[in-house]
Amino acid sequence: MKKGFLGILALTLIFGMAVIGCDDSDNNGENNSNGNGNGSNGGQNLPAASGVNAVSGKTYYEWNEKTVFSATANGAANGTYIKGSVERDDEENDVLDNNGKYKYIDIETGTYTWNETAKTVTLKPEKVALAGSNGIGTLGNQTAYRASIQAMFDKWKAEIGEAAFNAMVNEQLAAMGLSSIAAYINYAADEAFSNKTNGYSFSADETALFLEQALPANKGTNQFSGQTYYGMVGYDERVKDENRKYVFTASGYTFTAGVYTETGAYAYDSNMKQVWLRPEKIDGKDKQEIYTVETAWSGHGYADDNACRASRANGRFNYWAEQYNSTNKTIGWEH
């Protein structure tokens, strides 16, 4: 087993890397994951609802996931939401219902409030899928979630032996600036259960809901401003690819890979050596423009063609977390 693989696999499972439901053949950016990086304090109180709830009864699509917001009455204090992921069979094929539409497995449930003036919606997770195969399974609260991560680590240790386990995990923890599995579990649980605040908007034809999650607060020292970094490629052997270039300003970045160009905003945690990248334009087009030119393919399992188009547009503009090495000037896991 490749050195460091265990820790990377843990990150992939726990932070829920989305399995892409739409064809992603022309997205040349780094693989997007749903790790939010909001920091700590899982179990925060929701802000009070304010104004008209524009997302009442709406569904947000992003790649193979959808979030359904409950309809709320005027004056309601909050609503509920359910996040689901497309069900897969044992051979990783999408599961369809009798009408040829995707079947979804719940991966998160909670409550939400809204702010009409700020055009934001804040989600408070109450139960999430416990750590396990593909991050999809039985839902549990924060206590159960912590226990499931520990059980996953214990299982791997029993399978490969304590010495190999320690070598793999300790290297990954060190790269994240963490000293122990307990520290990692605390971080992962706080990430999973912290409130998520999203800006909301709609497509010009009002057929699609767009959400834009706020970047986490910067922590530590900005090791990006005025710097150029490069992406990592490969699996068994990871190498720096100078054709995948990130050029940073004080608050933004430009990523190029061949003819692909992406510009956006970023946030960082220099202690954990993580950077969050949020695209704002892809090949010169913003999300509204990308949605307009997206096409749905024949035979998709979404509710309708607009949902398929929205899933792709939203997925391409979601932000994601990457590890970085300020010495080697690389972005992406190295081992």
Find the domain containing 323 and state its range.
5-331
Distance, in Å, from the CA atom of 316 to the CA atom of 293, rounded to the nearest integer, reads 13
Total structural domains within the chain: 1
At residue 219, what are phi and psi to the nearest 5 degrees? -135, 135
Count other Cβ atoms within 10 Å, centred on residue 23.
10
Phi, psi values for residue 230, rounded to 5°? -130, 150
- Res 17: pLDDT: 33
Backbone torsion region of residue 288, taken as left when φ is above 0, otherwise alpha when ψ lies between -120 and 50, otherwise beta = alpha
From CA 190, how far away is CA 185, in angstroms rounded? 8
> What are the backbone angles phi and psi of residue 101, rounded to the nearest 5°?
-105, 155
In 3D, which of 222, 16, 39 has the Cα closest to residue 129?
A: 16
* pTM greater than 0.85 (yes/no): no
From the centroid of its chain, how far is CA 46?
21
pLDDT tens per residue, range 49-64: 999 999 999 999 999 9
What span, in angstroms and rounded, lies between the C-alpha atoms of 149 and 144? 9
Provide block-wise average pLDDT over 10 residues at a time, the chain (335 residues): 39 36 36 36 80 98 96 96 92 90 95 98 95 70 92 90 88 81 90 93 95 92 98 89 97 96 96 93 96 92 96 93 94 83
> Which positions ≥6 away from 246 have C-beta within 8 Å?
228, 229, 230, 231, 253, 254, 255, 331
